[in-house]
């Protein structure tokens, strides 16, 4: 037994705090005076000018905006999700300061206080190799351990990346997620601000994680992070992103585009712990390519947001490539977690696995939407999909939309398993008969259900995640 | 005089059947008194209500007390939740313990111990107690990392129940057919551990279909249950008679119902 895990799991039942107190605060929003609502070529030009961008990036943005304006909403999801988006009402760019810092002591008090309350500097001191903290549209703090810098690791906010490594970014941007891939990717391509640019040189192993923390502070903000991570040959890296926001009555918007490139023999893991407030629409496109013998893993935890649409993908491009997605979704009252994964086997001798766990509660709705594609010629392929749904009451919903498209017959193994279950009264009774209170018993069952996800997290995040679930479920039993 | 640890007077109960959507009468007037320092064995044919009695006492959600009285340590338990009963000192070793995927045995045990004591138990303290119990019961530490009862063999499940009993130190431990599904060696070991547990400050209610457990445990009282009632009580000699003559002969016609 791992003693640490015992303590981790048990912390869960003892935490009794609410989202409002922990994450729901906001600080001064005077900086919005300088911002304009809505999106237009003028706004795009302004953003590009503020960032002092090269011409090619401005063109990339403007052409993306055109694509966005001409694109319909996705048709495979019911339109009610998109009807509530008021594009004219959003701020597409908001900056609380005009500088980025690499020492917390220099960060303006208000913003520093925000991240202190979220525990970001503390986490950095304890167990992170580098941290990026984004407040509204801009990264306000950025730091990478010196020894990694010396090894040639690049970990920058995306804006600075464009300034310093423009040629590299130009080569990689939109290679996996084209501007017109979907309406929201187009919008991101037009308005992006912040996010990370990461490059790990050949053979460099980054042993402890890099983290980006995304914070929305004001009402009606659109946050458009753009991230590219390149793990060069034989390198390895784990990147974690966390997100929170105060709750407002108006819809906020988080639309990220993330592109991961794992070169030969590289290992790249991207972990998300998404805990947006329930007025945020979280529409994110995440895609990766894995070259020869490379491994890409998406660990995707979706707890917050009003609606999440997110289907991390791995394009298995060369023999030996491996892709893995482990995801959990927690849909509470009024929430919709539409999550899933895509694996494209484009080469022989590639493997993939998807484990998707969803919990629906108080009328929340979780869906699994997945694609397994095995191209012609991609023989000797193995892929496993497991999606399990847990319903905590009789009026919550769960559904699965799996698509399996196999064009090759030679030695292709495709496994797909799906289960839907409820927590049985008998199970709760068993735990209660040991003195455990009902709400703690339910929590133990839920934590057990998502354990395949939490065990993949660094311990501190496992604690945090269990804590989040505990507060989501708090008061759910009369 | 002190009141008994467990006292049942004319206890009647029903169980809710999901198939028929009806309440079915099970216990039809059970009288029983158990004092500390005693070991009671409850026998009877299948369907006589033995296991139901245990679940009624532990507070199973489908079992309802409809009439009569059940007191534990002098307190009526009817309105107590199962967890309250457990914290008060009651324990039931389940015949079919539930499996919970992803919940490590070690985590579960710590939660249960802390719940039972209504206080946080420092990890070091817990570990010391746990290690001692594991050693005593001959259970490997690897066991603790496994998901609770998931993929456990029948024997492992039963030993896990006994481990919990040792850690939680109930004052009344009810064992529901703990002997079923065990081979002779495992049976011997498990009941050796049960015997070790019994002392002057606690009591056992051992429910069994077979009298073979009596080779391993010395009861102070033996009861025979039939059609929701305790129809005969006596000492250890009663079970011997059942062994030799069979339920029917000992009880007369009523046992054949």
Tell me whether residue B22 is in a domain.
no
Q: Are residues B176 and B248 in the same domain?
A: yes
Instruction: Name chain A contacts of B82, Cβ cutoff 8 Å.
Output: 429, 432-433
CB contact under 8 A, A433 and B59: yes
Q: How far apart are CA B135 and CA B54, in angstroms?
A: 29
Q: How many CB pairs under 8 A join A and B?
A: 109
Instruction: Identify all chain A residues contacting B94, using CB atoms and an 8 Å cutoff.
Output: 430, 433
Count of domains observed in chain B: 2
* A7·B123 Cβ contact <8 A: yes
> What ipTM did this prediction achieve?
0.95
Best residue of A1, A2, A4, A437 to probe chain B, by most B CBs closer than 10 Å: A1
Q: Cβ of B115 and A434 within 8 Å?
A: yes
CA A394/CA B175 separation, integer angstroms: 34
Q: Is residue B14 part of a domain?
A: no
B83 and B144 in a single domain? The answer is: no
Report the relative pairing of strands A252-254 and A222-223 from DSSP bridges: parallel
Q: Tell me, yes or no, whether B181 and B209 share the same domain.
A: yes
A465 to chain B, closest Cα gap in Å = 15
Residues B48 and B112 in one domain: no
Q: What is the pLDDT along chain A (478 residues), one digit of tens a residue?
A: 333 333 333 333 232 246 777 787 888 888 887 788 999 999 999 999 999 999 999 999 999 999 999 999 988 888 888 888 889 999 999 988 778 888 998 898 888 888 888 888 888 888 888 899 999 888 889 899 999 999 999 999 999 999 999 999 999 999 999 999 999 999 999 999 999 999 999 999 999 899 999 998 888 899 999 999 999 999 999 999 988 888 888 888 899 999 999 999 999 999 998 888 888 999 999 999 999 999 999 999 998 899 999 999 999 999 999 999 999 999 998 999 999 999 999 999 999 999 999 999 989 999 999 999 999 999 999 999 999 999 998 899 999 999 999 999 999 999 999 999 999 999 999 999 999 999 999 999 999 999 999 989 888 778 777 777 777 776 554 3
Please judge whether A438 and B103 are an interchain contact, meaning their C-beta atoms are less than 8 angstroms apart. Answer: no
Number of domains in chain A: 1
Whether B202 and B133 map to the same domain: the answer is no
The dihedral through the CA atoms of B169, B170, B172, B178 has a sign that is negative
Partners of B112 on chain A (C-beta within 8 Å) are 434-436
Q: Does residue B132 lie within any of the structural domains?
A: yes
Are the beta carbons of B60 and A429 separated by less than 8 Å? yes
Within-domain flag for A20: yes
| Phi and psi torsions of B30, nearest 5° | -100, 125
Residues of chain A neighbouring B107 (CB-CB closer than 8 A): 5-6, 9-10, 444
Range of the domain at B50: 41-60+78-97+155-256
For A451, name the nearest residue in chain B, comparing CA atoms only: B102
Distance of CA A25 to the CA centre of its chain: 22
Asked if residue B2 belongs to a domain, the reply is no
With beta carbons less than 8 A apart as the criterion, state whether B121 and B92 touch.
Answer: no
A375 within a domain of the structure (yes/no): yes
Contact B104 A6 (CB under 8 A): yes
Q: What is the pLDDT of residue A18?
A: 63
Flag whether B72 is in a domain: no
Say whether B82 and A429 touch across the interface (CB within 8 A). Answer: yes
Residue A282 lies in a domain: yes
Going by their DSSP bridges, the two strands A322-331 and A307-310 should be labelled as unpaired
**A234 part of a folded domain:** yes
> Of B107, B141, B147, B161, which to mutate for an interface test with A (greatest number of A Cβ within 10 Å)?
B107
In degrees rounded to 5, what are phi and psi of residue A159?
-60, -50
Domain co-membership, B188 together with B86 = yes
Segments forming the whole domain that contains residue A115: 3-473
In a domain, A260, yes or no: yes
Same domain? B240 vs B164: yes
Q: Is residue B27 part of a domain?
A: no
Does residue B11 lie in a domain region? Answer: no
| Partner-chain contact B92 A452, CB within 8 Å | no
Residue B90 sits in the same domain as residue B186: yes
Q: Name the residue among A342, A294, A302, A347 with its Cα closest to residue A322.
A: A294
Largest CA distance in chain A: 69
Torsional class of B177: left (φ above 0), alpha (ψ -120 to 50), beta (otherwise):
left
3-state secondary structure A320-387: CCEEEEEEEEEECCCCEEEEEEEEEECCCCCEEEEEEEEEECCCCEEEEEEEEEECCCCCCEEEEEEE
Please tell me if residue A478 touches chain B, with a CB cutoff of 8 Å.
no
Torsion angles phi and psi, residue A246, rounded to 5: -70, 160
Is A430 part of any domain?
yes
Q: Is residue A478 part of a domain?
A: no
The verdict on B136 and B248 lying in the same domain is no
- Shared domain check, B116 and B228: no
The residue among B123, B151, B179 that closes a domain is B151
Minimal Cβ distance to B106: which of A1, A426, A433 = A1
Do B125 and B229 share a structural domain?
no
Q: Given B151, B184, B215, which residue is the final one in a domain?
A: B151
How many angstroms separate the CA atoms of A156 and A195, rounded? 9
The contacts of residue B167 (CB under 8 Å, 6+ apart) are: B109, B112, B113, B129, B130, B133
Residues of chain B short of pLDDT 70, as ranges, are: 1, 252-257
Chain A residues touching residue B127 (CB < 8 angstroms): 3
- Across the interface, of B85, B87, B94, the residue whose CB is closest to A430 is B94
Q: Answer yes or no: do B111 and A444 touch at CB < 8 A.
A: yes
Distance CA B175, CA B47 (A): 17
B94–A445 C-beta distance less than 8 A: no
Using a CB-CB cut-off of 8 Å, the residues of chain A touching B100 are 427, 431, 444-445, 448
Among A155, A94, A12, CA closest to A463:
A12
Contact check, Cβ <8 Å, A3/B116: no
**B3-34 pLDDT, tens digit each:** 899 999 999 999 998 888 899 999 999 999 99
Q: In CATH, what number is assigned to the domain containing residue B169?
A: 3.40.50.300
Say if CB B56 and CB B77 are below 8 A apart: no
Residues of A in contact with B147 (CB under 8 A): 448
Q: Is residue A278 part of a domain?
A: yes
* B249/B186 same-domain check: yes
């Amino acid at each position: 037994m791992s003693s640490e895990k015992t303590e981790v799991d048990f912390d869960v039942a003892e935490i009794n705090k609410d989202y409002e107190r922990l994450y729901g605060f906001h600080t001064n929003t005077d900086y919005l005076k300088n911002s304009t609502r809505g999106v237009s070529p003028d706004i795009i030009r302004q953003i590009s000018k503020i960032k002092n961008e090269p011409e090619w990036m401005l063109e990339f943005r403007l052409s993306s905006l055109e694509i966005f304006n001409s694109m319909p909403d996705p048709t495979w999801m019911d339109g009610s999700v998109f009807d509530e988006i008021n594009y004219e009402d959003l701020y597409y760019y908001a900056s609380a300061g005009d500088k980025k810092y690499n020492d917390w002591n220099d960060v303006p008090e208000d913003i520093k206080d925000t991240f202190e309350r979220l525990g970001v500097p503390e986490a950095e001191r304890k167990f992170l190799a580098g941290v990026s903290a984004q407040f509204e549209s801009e990264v306000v703090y950025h730091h990478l351990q010196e020894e990694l810098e010396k090894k040639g690791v690049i970990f920058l906010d995306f804006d600075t990346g464009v300034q310093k490594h423009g040629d590299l970014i130009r080569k990689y941007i939109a290679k996996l997620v084209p501007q017109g891939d979907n309406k929201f990717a187009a919008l991101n391509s037009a308005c992006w601000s912040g996010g990370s640019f990461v490059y790990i040189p050949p053979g460099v192993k980054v042993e402890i994680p890099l983290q980006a923390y995304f914070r929305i502070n004001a009402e009606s903000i659109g946050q458009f992070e753009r991230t590219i991570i390149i793990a060069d040959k034989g390198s390895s890296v784990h990147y974690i992103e966390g997100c929170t926001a105060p709750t407002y009555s108006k819809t906020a918007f988080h639309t990220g585009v993330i592109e991961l490139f794992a070169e030969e023999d590289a290992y790249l893991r991207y972990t998300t712990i998404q805990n947006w407030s329930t007025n945020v629409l979280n529409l994110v496109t995440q895609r990766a390519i894995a070259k020869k013998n490379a491994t890409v893993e998406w660990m995707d935890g979706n707890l917050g947001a009003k609606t999440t649409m997110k289907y991390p993908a791995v394009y298995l491009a060369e023999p030996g490539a491996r892709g893995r997605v482990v995801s959990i979704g927690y849909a509470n009252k009024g929430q919709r977690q539409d999550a899933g994964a895509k694996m494209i086997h484009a080469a022989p001798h590639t493997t993939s696995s998807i484990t998707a766990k969803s919990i629906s509660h108080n009328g929340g709705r979780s869906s699994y939407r997945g694609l397994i594609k095995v191209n012609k010629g991609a023989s000797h392929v193995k892929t496993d999909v497991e999606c399990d749904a847990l319903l905590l009451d009789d009026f919550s919903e769960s559904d699965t939309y799996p698509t399996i498209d196999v064009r090759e017959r030679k030695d292709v193994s495709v496994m797909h398993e799906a289960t839907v279950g409820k927590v049985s009264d008998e199970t709760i009774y068993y735990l209660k008969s040991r003195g455990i209170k009902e709400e703690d018993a339910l929590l133990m069952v839920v934590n057990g259900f998502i354990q395949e996800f939490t065990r993949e997290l660094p311990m501190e995040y496992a604690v945090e995640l269990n804590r989040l679930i505990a507060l989501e479920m708090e008061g759910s039993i009369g | 005089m002190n009141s008994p640890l467990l006292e049942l007077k004319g206890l009647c109960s029903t169980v809710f059947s999901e198939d028929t959507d009806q309440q079915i009468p099970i216990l039809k007037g059970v009288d029983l008194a158990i004092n500390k320092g005693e070991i009671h064995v409850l026998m009877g044919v299948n369907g006589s209500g033995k296991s139901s009695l245990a679940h009624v006492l532990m507070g199973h959600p489908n079992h309802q007390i409809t009439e009569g009285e059940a007191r534990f340590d002098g307190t009526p338990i009817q309105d107590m939740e199962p967890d309250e009963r457990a914290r008060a000192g009651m324990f039931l070793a389940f015949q079919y313990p539930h499996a919970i995927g992803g919940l490590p045995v070690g985590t579960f045990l710590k939660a249960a111990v802390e719940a039972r004591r209504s206080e946080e138990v420092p990890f070091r303290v817990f570990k010391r107690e746990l290690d001692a119990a594991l050693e005593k019961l001959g259970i490997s530490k690897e066991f603790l990392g496994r998901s609770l009862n998931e993929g456990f063999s029948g024997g492992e499940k039963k030993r896990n129940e006994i481990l919990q009993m040792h850690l939680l130190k109930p004052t009344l431990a009810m064992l529901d057919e703990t002997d079923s599904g065990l081979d002779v060696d495992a049976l011997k070991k498990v009941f050796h551990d049960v015997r070790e547990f019994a002392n002057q400050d606690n009591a056992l209610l051992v429910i069994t279909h077979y009298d073979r457990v009596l080779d391993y445990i010395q009861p102070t009282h033996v009861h025979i249950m039939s059609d929701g009632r305790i129809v005969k009580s006596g000492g250890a000699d009663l079970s011997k008679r059942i062994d030799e003559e069979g339920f029917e002969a000992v009880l007369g016609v009523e046992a054949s119902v």
